[in-house]
């Protein structure tokens, strides 16, 4: 019995190494494929950038809060008036609510957004001397600010790498097979592990641009997609090049 039990152990242990090797090979292939996709999207969208218009961390933070359930184009139409009226956190904190709501009405959910902006102005004024903090732990304590908004501000206003998991980024990262997760924070960490940290902000930009232009939620333009050869979801949309090309559009913002 002892000899039989002893002889079974090496066999059991011996199966672990091939499994680990297979897992490592799968992981390496995933990383290589993901980085090929990223390089191809960089070539496709050499001018990819945050499409919100801003001149300061304060302006970007406010604009990003307004962009929830709204296009960047619409936010950019509203913010010039908003920032003339409320150029800093102190002025925003003391804003007349009805006037603030009137300015941002077209961005949708304007009452909730006005409430967040008033509280944001007060929090920045009282807790951070009117300045936008430059750490994610501090940013997420602000009214209306989650990790997505915080990563936008850190990456675009402060040059600190961050992954912005908006609806486009989440959808594309799942279609491309980089993750199967739905939770934005878990997606952020799982996808981030596939790329060098220095690429995170630009990765977010190119994926968002691709999602707005080709990889749409309902009918992705598969037949006109630059990265189709590496996409396990190829075929979710029209694969005919002519039909797919008709779906490609300039972003609405």
pLDDT in tens, 191-234: 999 999 999 999 999 999 999 999 999 999 999 999 999 999 99
pLDDT at 12 over 80: no
Q: What letter does residue 132 receive in the DSSP assignment?
A: P
pLDDT of residue 15: 67
pLDDT tops 50 at residue 253: no
Residue 13 confidence class, pLDDT cut points 50, 70, 90? low
Is residue 23 very low, low, confident or very high in pLDDT (cuts 50, 70, 90)? confident
pLDDT at 1: 42
Q: Who's near 156: CB < 8 A, 6+ residues apart?
A: 50, 52, 54, 60, 201
Task: Tell me the whole-structure pTM to 2 decimals.
Answer: 0.84
Separation between Cα atoms, residue 170 and residue 115, nearest integer Å: 27
Rounded to whole angstroms, the Cα distance separating 144 from 113 reads 8
d(CA 233, CA 222): 9
- Mean pLDDT for 112-126 is 97
Per-residue pLDDT tens for 149-166? 999 999 999 999 999 999
Q: Which of 60, 40, 32, 250 minimizes the C-alpha distance to 158?
A: 60
Q: What is the pLDDT of residue 200?
A: 96
The Cα–Cα gap between 216 and 241 comes to: 16
pLDDT(89) > 60:
yes
pLDDT at 2 over 60: no
Q: Rounded CA gap, 20 and 15, in Å?
A: 9
Report in angstroms the alpha-carbon separations of 124 from 135, 138, 145, 241. 14, 11, 12, 50
- Whether 75 and 253 have beta carbons less than 8 Å apart is answered as yes
Asked if 197 and 50 touch (Cβ cutoff 8 Å), the reply is no
Active-site residue list: 148, 166
User: Can you list the domains of the chain with their CATH numbers?
Assistant: 57-157 (1.10.340.30), 167-245 (1.10.1670.10)
Mean pLDDT over each residue of the chain, to the nearest integer:
92
Q: Rg of the Cα trace of the chain?
A: 23
Res 3: pLDDT: 44
């Amino acid at each position: 019995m002892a000899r039989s039990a002893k002889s079974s152990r090496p066999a059991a242990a011996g199966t672990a190494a091939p499994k680990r090797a297979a897992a490592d090979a799968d992981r390496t292939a995933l990383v290589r494929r993901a980085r090929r996709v990223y390089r191809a999207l960089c070539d496709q969208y050499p001018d990819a950038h945050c499409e919100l218009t801003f001149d300061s961390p304060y302006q970007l933070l406010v604009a990003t809060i307004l962009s929830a359930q709204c296009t960047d184009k619409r936010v950019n139409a509203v913010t010039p008036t908003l920032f003339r009226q409320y150029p800093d956190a102190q002025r925003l904190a003391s804003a007349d609510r009805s006037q603030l709501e009137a300015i941002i009405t077209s961005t949708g959910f304007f009452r909730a957004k006005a409430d967040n902006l008033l509280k944001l102005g007060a929090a920045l004024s009282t807790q951070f001397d009117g300045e936008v903090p430059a750490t994610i732990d501090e940013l997420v304590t602000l009214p209306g600010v989650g990790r997505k908004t915080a990563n936008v501000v850190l990456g675009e206003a402060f040059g600190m790498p961050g992954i912005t998991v908006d609806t486009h980024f989440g959808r594309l990262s799942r279609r491309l097979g980089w993750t199967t997760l739905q939770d934005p924070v878990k997606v952020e960490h799982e996808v981030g592990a596939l790329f060098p940290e220095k690429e995170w902000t630009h990765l977010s930009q190119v994926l968002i641009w691709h999602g707005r232009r080709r990889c749409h939620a309902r009918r992705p333009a598969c037949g006109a997609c630059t990265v189709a050869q590496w996409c396990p979801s190829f075929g979710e949309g029209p694969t005919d090049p002519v039909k797919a090309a008709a779906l490609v559009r300039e972003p609405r913002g």
